[in-house]
Structure 1
């Protein structure tokens, strides 16, 4: 059975590169990766290997198997944490299956390593394997020529549609991919095999005819492969090949004993390689030279290009737009629009721009989610966790490994590669002939592929990964077969000796985890003391102005802010513009302290090391910038206390008991911490809104210089937030003013807010408004201190303060501030010729609220139509009313004659104004009257007619109208009664959390002396009460749904302002 492993290895090494990527069937619906013939062959070969391993237990005593096992275990943990902790992998078969598919693909690549490792065991095996790879390369090159010159078909996997196995043909100027799924994959394969062929040809150079023929054929195949490499158009692969070839040349020359021959060959090699590359670039590399030139120019240039340097076409593309008319008609149009390019795309080209703007930042965020184990396989291309992407790519294998599997996966994966290279290099001097060629070729190929991995996911490309790991297995089997066990046991011994340190470091990564790159990272709130925040500001100022001061982006300077923490923070704020960069310094301080006490003080117990971690956790060491005193406690006092603990307690008579007690205490402290589990999960998921930061972003979106109407005017934001905090996130299109004299820095306001007179803030606001400036008010933070809240209320009293936007999930709002104006009620819109003038209403009056949505009588079965509705309304024509409010659509038909009929049959005959409150969104998408929410008031009574959405939901505009009406109500102290009239406001069933009643009732709490009457018309079920009293709130609903007798509401207000409400039959 063992004899079959060698021919199977040769077959796979040849078959995998030669057979195109034609799929057999889908394994995941909608995903680009499919099952192919090579997968089935690998399963068969793996089964053969296992069968042999079951009979020969020595095969399990393979140190390399241990390294792969560690990687496999880390990969499983990455998936598990992605599912249950991070939730980057939703607990659904499709998402979990996708991550598992990637995981098993890597194990599949490693499987070929062990198959070849067990199959290729002699020099003769190695020689045959190299000839097979040479022949395979020759055939791959030949097929590539066929694609370019003779229209051989290509089978691409560049996207999901192409990957279905359909044959395509190379267009003029297209990039050759030969039998591979893409030109980048082909280029990476050539980076592996070309250095190997070059090395193999050198050991076959001799005087005999056979040797010369072999040498000539290998060199011809090598040169043809170089041509094919240029035809792939991959700049990175070409650079990688040059480095790989240089490694092979240097290592080959170093083996020559004679110095003169070595010098001569070195000169000849340099000349030959230069001449060869010059020739190939001259004949075939015009495009590559142009691309290198473009890239070099892009790096040096200072101005922006008009378009990306690698743009194909004119930069226009067809885009689809879907619109829905008021009548519910959906229309889709296609328009030719100019594409918008990012600055990176304009400077470096589209390809590099995508990497810098999207792919690489996503991978770094994946690492930041969980530095130890990453976000999980196949999660880096998603913009949100629930998204399913049909393909995954990072175009940098190092970042992909870090993002998907974290530091553990990165160290295991690339550590295995570097270990293999080290073992091969260490044994190189002992090798001769074909083994020397194999070793040198392998080292060159590995260097080349590691360079290529900077720009392409080469270790995730199946054909490339299979060949590399197969080559690694063959090389290690012949030159370092037994050393794997030695190294693996050395690694295990090291881990065992330092287990307490590594366990503590792992716990540190989990307990102190914060994600500074997450959009909703709580680090953006800077929840720290004023002094700690000033330390951060001082470091930021030093990176800009080389002074430790409190500086504003506007150029204002305040007092000196030097501190030891600021000094340490300088390189971090210099390297990154992200305000949360302080986290990395804080975390490194904790790790540095751990290593110091472990190495220098000799604290090796888990108890002692957990003392540092627990102290850092309890003090919130990584959640915000630090004061020097916090830094001193951890860096100086904690090691001293730990030394004393180690000397007098942990090494005494009862050391074991003391350790047990302390260990239980340190582990127990985080668990009893208030909200530990919720906080622990939030630190990884970052799902909570950062309201403080979002309040600034809200201002950025609404305070734009382009909106200013007066020359030399400015936007001003009045806020309780620190101006230094606002500078971290502001777009600099507005100035900041203090809300209260009680705020920090008001003892020297001119150094912080500017050269204004801050003695009287109200007078300052008035003067700025008089100059044509726009003033806005942010309410975040006003409830943190009573003086701030009082000044916030005073500002709303002295100025016309109105909501501009409501954001942050209703946790922050932006107001416009205007000069206080005289309060004159607007006139409500009447659908008749008679106009309602609120100021002329008598002290005592009566009005009616009724709904158009009446169901037919269950007994008579009278149909609901306009004529029957007019008959029901007839008695109301002569009623003595101040006005009538009809809610609903008035009509239940699109008949254009219906409105004139309604007016003639009722509205024009009524002796009072008729107001309209729309609704019935499920009946008429297009309303008969363009009337929305309205407000009007008398000296005593305020009316608010709300036009809400279906199911009592409110849009942002609808909420703004209602809340601004309540702000106006604050400035009307004589108002006694508030009437809120709405067709759809459902106060009887508030189970829907989006019901506007929840927000409305919260706002009405601010009016304890106001009598509020909420009158609704279109939701009262027959079994529900149409009336409710709750303190100063009175709820009344028309009974129109599910009842045999329809009613309307009559409201009578007497001269003293007392209100009585009565339901009457219609």
Structure 2
């Protein structure tokens, strides 16, 4: 009986720690399969959401029992942000009428709370330094498993479940084509890449702290998978964060080794290098004098990143003349459009009628030499980012509310100011700044050998913020859950003396 009571006491004292360790494995590794669809959106409730609810339930019970205590300095900041979200939701729905379905706006608001609650759960799960090191040492194992699954996707035909469009988000099982980018167990390659750039500096910090070759090999494995994702913004975030970290820690030998591996693996990936090369292209395009619409002559292929319609004209003396190849492409495209339109209207055109219509439409098109961006960047510049800025201009203080500018903006900073305005955005960024400042201020209390791990965490935050300039990483569930959990763990490692527990 005494052994049973002792076991129950141990479980009671360590239940949150066990659940946090479980979340570190379950959230990144369980595929993005929908459990329950939600109307008016392709966001679904997933099994990982129930796990977070379980963690939250245990957390609040322990809080009521006074087994744990919230850290007030951060709780106030988080509450202010959640209140700002609530204010933006109410303003968007009742005042601006920019949120058509209140339940969807409430869902988007609740997601932020759900992600961020893990910060407090992780922080109070740390009762001793040993707890912190035990939990953080699980991270390399999870990263290894995620990377191995990604390799299986690329070379062995392992399935993928993605949410990059409404059809995929229903739970469609996918198998990657040779040119497809690796997503592992994540919603897409962008999310997986963001997860890697957040955790890779921490893995490098673990290597410098523990001096175990296994950690460095896991870092190299992560680099290989990062290259396979072919995410340009994550690659840039990796370059800036990792090499800055190595310079800061004064590790010239490791700097050269990592540089060699980076160059070799980048050269190995024609997908990544070709996407960088196609970010901006010098192309001749055609502009409609009457409408201003642009036609970009190109063959669309799943193997290539197509150009978008955002362009900067290259000024030349005289008039640009269409190349024969582009002129032929233009003629065929116009002819195809004419036939498609005639088919929709039930008309049958003669050859002479087709030729006349092609000649008439071609006469309005002027060839110009330009620098065009790829379609991904063009979509952001022409649609997503202006939409967010317009939302901010409508209400600079509160924005137009959560869910008001669709599921993605592909720039978290613009998404925040568009949905939450200056107030919500300012508080959110101040929370991240406060976490980084707190860690930095406590760094001097650590032994010198431990510091690289904490510096790795800070550089990981910087990498994720760089990533956020092109992707909504703080709204990507697996990345967001992991980010707030890791933040809570590192903060909790300094709050051990402040944690108050009731003796049993």
- Report how far residue 272 of structure 1 moved: 2.0
Any residues of structure 2 matched to 1:216-231 within 5 Å, and which?
Answer: 216-231=213-228
- CA distance in 1: counterparts of 2:391 and 2:498, whole angstroms: 35
Aligned partner of 2:28 in structure 1 is 17
| 1:241 paired residue number | 238
Contact conserved, 1:248 with 1:443, CA < 8 A, in 2?
no
Residue 366 (1) aligns with residue 391 (2): yes
In the TM superposition, what are the counterparts of 1:826-841 in structure 2 within 5 Å?
Answer: none
Residues 345 and 352 in structure 1, CA contact (< 8 A), matched pair in contact too:
no
Partner secondary structure for residue 427 of structure 1: helix
Match of 1:161 in 2: 167
Query: Paired residue for 1:174, among 166, 177, 180?
Result: 180
- The offset of 1:483, in angstroms, is 9.6
Looking at structure 1, the residues matched to 399 and 29 of structure 2 have their Cα atoms a distance apart, in angstroms, of 35
**Match of 1:398?**
413
The residue aligned with 2:270 is 286
Show the 5 A alignment for 1:509-908: none
Q: 1:312 & 1:353 partners in 2: Cα distance?
A: 8
Q: Which residue does the alignment assign to 1:111? A: 117
Measure the CA separation in 2 of the matches of 1:302 and 1:349: 11
Displacement of 1:322: 5.5
User: Could you say which residue in structure 1 is the equivalent of 2:292?
Assistant: none
- Tell me if structure 2 keeps the 8 A contact 1:367–1:374: yes
Corresponding residue of 1:410: 425
* Secondary structure in structure 1 of the residue aligned to 2:69: helix
Q: Of 353, 367, 370, which aligns to 2:378?
A: 353
Equivalent of residue 52 in structure 1, options 55, 62, 72: 62
In the other structure, the counterpart of 1:97 is: 103
Deviation string 1:77-107 (CA, Å, 9 cap, x unpaired) is: 10111112111123xxxx1111111100010
d(CA) in 2 for partners of 1:152 and 1:406?
A: 42
Give me the whole-angstrom Cα distance separating, in 1, the residues matched to 2:162 and 2:346.
39
User: What do residues 315-353 of structure 1 show as CA deviations (whole Å, max 9, x unaligned)?
Assistant: 97997885599xxxxxxxxxxxx9x9xx99971110000
- Would the aligned equivalents of 1:6 and 1:120 in 2 still touch at CA under 8 Å? yes
Alignment check: 8 A CA contact 2:208 2:453 kept: no
Equivalent residue, structure 2, for 1:77: 87
Root-mean-square deviation (Å)? 2.9
The alpha-carbon distance between structure 1 residues 289 and 25, as it changes in their structure 2 partners (threshold 3 A), is same
- Change in 2 beyond 3 A, CA 1:324/1:114: farther
Distance across 2 between alignment mates of 1:292 and 1:200 = 31
Match of 1:311 in 2: 306
Q: Report the Cα distance in structure 2 between the residues aligned to 1:10 and 1:458, rounded to whole angstroms.
A: 22
**Distance (whole Å) between structure 2 residues aligned to residue 123 and residue 247 of structure 1:** 28
Cα distance in 1 for partners of 2:449, 2:86 equals 39
Q: Who is 2:72 aligned against?
A: 62
Normalised by the size of structure 1, how large is the TM-score?
0.38
Instruction: Find the aligned partners of 1:11 and 1:179 in 2 and give their Cα distance.
Output: 16
Do the aligned partners of 1:377 and 1:405 also contact (CA within 8 Å) in 2? Answer: yes
Partner-residue secondary structure (3-state), 2:493: helix
Contact kept? 2:209, 2:453, Cα under 8 Å: no
Distance 2:112 2:97 in 1: 22
**Deviation beyond 4 Å, 4+ runs, structure 1:** 301-305, 312-325, 343-346, 480-484
Pair 1:436 & 2:433 matched: no
2:442 to 416, 424, 427: 427
- Closer/same/farther in 2, CA of residues 288 and 380 from structure 1, 3 Å limit: same
Deviation at 1:219, TM superposition (A): 1.3
The answer to whether the 8 Å contact 2:232/2:272 transfers is yes
1:592 is matched with none
Q: Secondary structure at the match of 2:177?
A: coil
Deviations 1:335-373 (A, max 9, x none): xxx9x9xx9997111000000000000000111111000
Aligned in 2, Cα 1:483/1:365: closer, same or farther, shift over 3 Å?
A: farther
Q: Which has the higher strand share?
A: 1
Deviation at 1:429, TM superposition (A): 2.6
CA distance in 2, matches of 1:101, 1:414: 22
Q: Is the alpha carbon distance of 1:223 and 1:57 closer, same or farther for their aligned partners in structure 2, counting shifts above 3 Å?
A: closer
Determine the C-alpha separation between the residues in 1 that align with 2:229 and 2:393: 35
Q: Equivalent residue for 2:487? A: 472
Residue 35 of structure 2: SS of its match in structure 1?
Answer: strand
Aligned to 1:275: 260
For 2:502, the equivalent position in structure 1 comes to none
- The unaligned stretches of length 5 or more in structure 1 are 206-214, 254-264, 326-337, 382-391, 485-1066
Cα–Cα, structure 1 residues 226 and 373, in superposed 2: closer, same or farther, change >3 Å? same
CA–CA separation in structure 1 for the residues paired with 2:55 and 2:434: 26
Deviations 1:177-211 (A, max 9, x none): 01011000000000111111111011111xxxxxx
Identify if the C-alpha distance between structure 1 residues 428 and 228 changes in structure 2 by more than 3 Å, giving closer, same or farther.
same
Larger Rg: 1
Deviation per CA, 1:941-973: give whole Å up to 9, x if none.
xxxxxxxxxxxxxxxxxxxxxxxxxxxxxxxxx
Displacement of 1:166 in angstroms is 2.2
Counterpart in 1 of 2:156? 150
Residue number in structure 2 paired with 1:35? 45
Residue 137 of structure 2: SS of its match in structure 1? helix
Contact kept? 1:2, 1:52, Cα under 8 Å: no
Task: For 1:330-349, list aligned pairs within 5 A.
Answer: 347-349=372-374
Partner residue in 2 for 1:534: none
Equivalent residue for 1:5, pick from 12, 16, 39: 16
* Alignment CA distance shift 1:393-1:406 (3 Å): same
In 2: Cα distance, 1:246 partner to 1:109 partner? 30
Q: Give the one of 122, 125, 134 matched to 2:128.
A: 122
Partner Cα distance (2:495, 2:233) in 1:
31
Deviations 1:352-409 (A, max 9, x none): 000000000000011111100000011114xxxxxxxxxx110000000110000011
**Equivalent position SS for 1:348:** strand
C-alpha contact (below 8 Å) 1:247/1:443 kept by paired residues: no
Q: How far apart are 1:433 and its partner, in Å?
A: 6.6
Task: Name whichever structure is richer in helix by fraction.
Answer: 2
Q: What secondary structure does 1:479 align onto?
A: coil
Contact 1:79/1:99 (8 A) holds in 2: yes
Give the aligned length: 430
Aligned to 2:461: 446
Give the whole-Å Cα distance in 2 for the aligned partners of 1:250 and 1:462.
32
C-alpha displacement at 1:482, in angstroms? 8.1
Instruction: Map Cα deviations across residues 679-727 of structure 1 (whole Å, 9 max, x no partner).
Output: xxxxxxxxxxxxxxxxxxxxxxxxxxxxxxxxxxxxxxxxxxxxxxxxx
Deviation at 1:218, TM superposition (A): 1.2
Task: State the partner residue of 1:645.
Answer: none
User: In 1, Cα distance between the equivalents of 2:444 and 2:125?
Assistant: 24
TM score, norm. by length of structure 2: 0.79
